Amino acid sequence: MRSRSVVPAVAVLILLLAGCSGEPEPPMPTPSSPRATASATSAATEEPGTLEELADAVESEGLVDTATLSVVSGSPGALQVHLVWDEVPSPDEQLAAYHEVDVRIDEILDDRPETTQIFLGAAPDSGRSRGVATSYDPGPELLLSLLGATGDSPCSAAELDRRDLGDDPSAEVTFDCTVQADDLIGLVSSYDEITAIGVEGDDVEVRWEVTVEGWTSTDAQLHVDAGPVEGRQELLVELATMATEGGADQVSLVDSGDGLSVHGYVDASGSPLCEAMLEQITAAGVGDATVGMQLRGAKPDAWSCWI
């Protein structure tokens, strides 16, 4: 009886040993296993292949809040790079963000336009731009200077353009400024403060357009094409005082450095304001002057006085 039981026992032992020494079957991939997520990870790390994809990428990475990257047709065409933040970072951080986007654009575009139009800043507030806009890439030094000038000053926006495209091109920047004031006199009293705002660079002409915060340029405006000029603020205050006391409103003053132009609206015809203002301007040594007062509510060509 005992010899009959040996064979089955040996067979069972052999089967058990075979089961222990065999290689285990690989587990089936699950949604969390590397085999299942390899394609998803590859897609997530894939570099953007178009400007639209790059704009989405820098937004999702937190580099900017809103990015608009596009090529506009024309003669010549231009690349537009608009980077907008809800809370604008420091000038250095804005410049670094632009540089990163600029490098990544080079990796995408095989035939990049020669001209790059830039905007760095915040979304418009009540229709007013807040940031730096350029019609070309001026280089990091000038761009950083513009960002610094508009960062924490009455001039919250600046536009940079080429003055000419000859062999010796120069640049022209216009600052858009608002000041806290109650009237025209307060507006022109900001002349010294505003014209102290500028940029670094010998070949950059600076202009300033100044209005009162909460007013439009139609209500009152100071436009300065050249400056600062010593003693000019005192003259502007005298002219603004004369205009206010003479009943003029919607007054605009254009200062070209060697010339002054004053325009406004009055009720009565034959206003003595023009002659009085012209005498004041001439006495201050300004060689070129124009003063005109239109009749309020009359036809566009109806003037109270013009000199």
Q: How far apart are CA 192 and CA 206, in angstroms?
A: 14
In order of 60, 72, 98, 99, 109, the CA distances from 103 in angstroms are 18, 19, 9, 6, 10
- On whether the CB atoms of residues 132 and 121 are closer than 8 A, the answer is yes
What's residue 167's pLDDT? 64
Show Cβ contacts of residue 254 under 8 Å, excluding neighbours closer than 6 positions: 223, 225, 260, 261, 262, 263
With b meaning 16 or more CB within 10 Å and e meaning fewer, what string describes 208-219? Answer: bbbbbeebeeee
Tell me, what's the pLDDT at 178?
96
Query: How confident is the model at residue 75, as a pLDDT?
Result: 67
pLDDT in tens, 232-291: 999 999 999 999 999 999 999 999 999 999 999 999 999 999 999 999 999 999 989 999
* Residue 253, C-beta contacts closer than 8 angstroms, at least 6 positions apart: 188, 221, 222, 223, 236, 239, 240, 260, 261, 262
Residues 6+ apart with CB under 8 A from 76: 113, 114, 115
Read off the pLDDT of residues 92-101 as tens digits, 9 standing for 90 and up: 999 999 999 9
Residue 216: strand, helix, or coil: coil
pLDDT of the residue at 26:
45
Task: Pick out the chain residues at pLDDT < 50.
Answer: 1-44
Closest listed residue to residue 58, CA positions, set 103, 91, 118:
103
pTM, rounded to two decimals: 0.82
